Amino acid sequence: MDNMEDNIKCVTCTAPVNIAVIKYWGKRDEELVLPVNSSVSVTLDQAQLRAKTTVMASPSFPNDRMWLNGKEQSMDSKRIQNLLNEIKQWRKEKHNGDTCTDGLLMWKVHICSENNFPTAAGLASSAAGYACLAYSLAKLYNVEGDLSAIARRGSGSACRSMYGGFVEWDMGSQEDGSDSVSRQIASENHWPELRVLLLVVSDQQKSMGSTEGMQATLKTSQLMDRRIQCVPESVEKIKEAILKKDFKTFAEITMKDSNQFHAVCLDSCPPIFYLTDVSKQIIQLVHAFNSSCGITKVAYTFDAGPNACLYLLEEDVGRVLSLICHFFPPDKDDLNTFVQGLQTPSISPLKK
Ligand code: DP6
């Protein structure tokens, strides 16, 4: 909504969550949020998990302010400031640096963001949140460009939520980070049979945030060097598997990468434990199920928390769900599941 007469400009957008199958873990540049390895993810359907952000600018606002799920947050966050400044810089460049004639740049902004799922549940809420913020601000300031580089300044994984379907975040090689951007490997319509089950083992805040966790791993884990050497081959192989819709290869690389990521966490000093006993039981159940089928039918992956994300084909959802419900009755063990399709379309301004 644009209402310059009332001196207020307002934009609302939604953005989806993405779950990595090759994890991003470790930064070579903290300020620019440049990773030590490329990563690959699947963007989920916005119908169930999404961030929604409204940004407003007005000359009557005395300060920049921000609310997350109705609670006011500090605008001092370096990430928010970097993201906002970068977008404003684009706007300045568009106006050839002539900021005096551009009132909008002088106006203060209000940001309201909410997730339609528990923010603390470790379901990549920061990825959706920062992707949404980057997109909303770009609309507000009416600028265009590769927004994945802007979203990345908020939270690394957010750059992959800029696209639907299967996405790669290329680590890039430039010092200024200009080539550390995400791109779509295949669209959300490419593999319509692929399904995602999210098993919420715990909705408690994670023991150690991703940012601190990756710093500790880079500083102290000897295995991390080996991981950095392995990832490029895994990225190439999983991209090929995605393009060929080769579920077995896709699933095996996904599980191996998740386990390698948790191994470097364990190899950090002091060790970082993200998986709980229930997470480990899910891993065992998946391997037992796959071996009873004689073929890999399900893959698990875990981010920086105990919640499992299972990839499987549509034809197996019923069987796997009943198995999960049998071993982890939701009421008893407080394990919730979401069934997800892939995301269509990509980030969109909210239609009213
Ligand atoms: C384990 O993107 O949350 O989910 O860039 O420090 O904000 P920052 O980290 P963040 O890290 C995500 C880590 C991960 C793996 C992944 O999504 O690739």
For residues 128 and 113, what is the distance between their CA atoms, to the nearest angstrom? 10
Cα(18)–Cα(230) distance, rounded to whole angstroms? 22
Give φ, ψ of 134 to 5 degrees: -60, -45
Residue 203's contacts (CB-CB under 8 Å, 6 or more residues apart) are 118, 120, 121
User: For residues 142 and 221, is the Cβ–Cβ distance under 8 A?
Assistant: no
Nearest-atom index, ligand 1, CA of 209: 3
Q: Note the pLDDT tens digit of each residue in 123-134.
A: 666 899 999 999
Least confident of 171-175, 239-243, 248-252, 305-309: 305-309
Residue 336: predicted pLDDT = 55
pLDDT of residue 124: 65
Q: Is 217 left (phi over 0), alpha (psi -120 to 50) or beta?
A: alpha
What does the pLDDT read at residue 120? 54
pLDDT reported for residue 352: 29
Cα 324 to Cα 277: distance, rounded to the nearest angstrom: 15
Q: How far is the centre of ligand 1, averaged over its atoms, from the C-alpha of 106 (Å)?
A: 33
ipTM associated with this complex: 0.99
Q: Is the CB of 200 under 6 A from ligand 1?
A: no
Q: How far apart are CA 5 and CA 203, in angstroms?
A: 44
CA of 36 to the centre of ligand 1 (A): 12
Any atom of ligand 1 within 6 Å of the Cβ of 211: yes
Distance 300 CA to ligand 1 centre (A): 17
Is the Cβ atom of 272 under 6 angstroms away from ligand 1? no
Matching residue, tokens 């200024």 = 176
Per the model's pLDDT, the better-predicted residue between 199 and 234 turns out to be: 234
Share of the chain above pLDDT 90, in %: 76
**Ligand 1 site-directed mutation target among 19, 23, 24, most atoms within 8 Å of CB:** 24
Q: Where are the beta strands (DSSP E) in the chain?
A: 2-3, 8-16, 18-22, 27-29, 34-35, 39-43, 50-58, 65-68, 71-73, 108-115, 166-169, 182-186, 194-200, 298-302, 308-313, 336-340, 348-349
Indicate which atom in ligand 1 lies nearest the CA of residue 303. Answer: 1
pLDDT at 116: 84
The predicted pLDDT at position 49 comes to 86
Average pLDDT over residues 37-51: 91
Cβ of 210 less than 6 Å from ligand 1: yes
Tokens of 250: 């896709």
According to the model, what pLDDT value does residue 344 have?
36
Range list of β-strands (E), 177-307 = 182-186, 194-200, 298-302
| Torsion angles phi and psi, residue 345, rounded to 5 | -85, -160
For the four alpha carbons of 287, 291, 292 and 293, in that order, the dihedral sign comes to positive
pLDDT in tens, 306-345: 999 999 999 999 999 999 989 988 754 445 555 555 443 3
Confidence of residue 6 (pLDDT cuts 50, 70, 90): low
Least confident of 122-126, 244-248, 269-273: 122-126
Q: Please, what is the average pLDDT of the chain? A: 89
Q: Where do we find the tokens 């819709």?
A: 245
Cα gap 30→122, rounded to integer Å: 21
Return the higher-pLDDT residue of 14 and 350.
14
For residue 83, what pLDDT band results from cuts at 50, 70 and 90? very high
Residue 196 pLDDT > 50:
yes
Atom number in ligand 1 closest to CA 156? 5
Ligand 1 atom nearest 169 alpha carbon: 18
What is the arithmetic mean of pLDDT over 74-88?
92
Among the atoms of ligand 1, which is closest to the Cα of residue 24? 18
Region 188-213: mean pLDDT is: 88
Closest protein CA for atom 4 of ligand 1: 303
Place of tokens 């390895």: 37
What is d(CA 194, CA 31) in angstroms, rounded to the nearest whole number?
36
State the pLDDT at residue 339.
52
Quick one: how many helices (H) and strands (E) in the chain?
9, 17
Q: Is 218 in the pocket of ligand 1 (CB under 6 A)?
A: no
pLDDT at 200: 85
The Cα-based distances of 330 to 199, 307, 335 in angstroms read 10, 14, 5
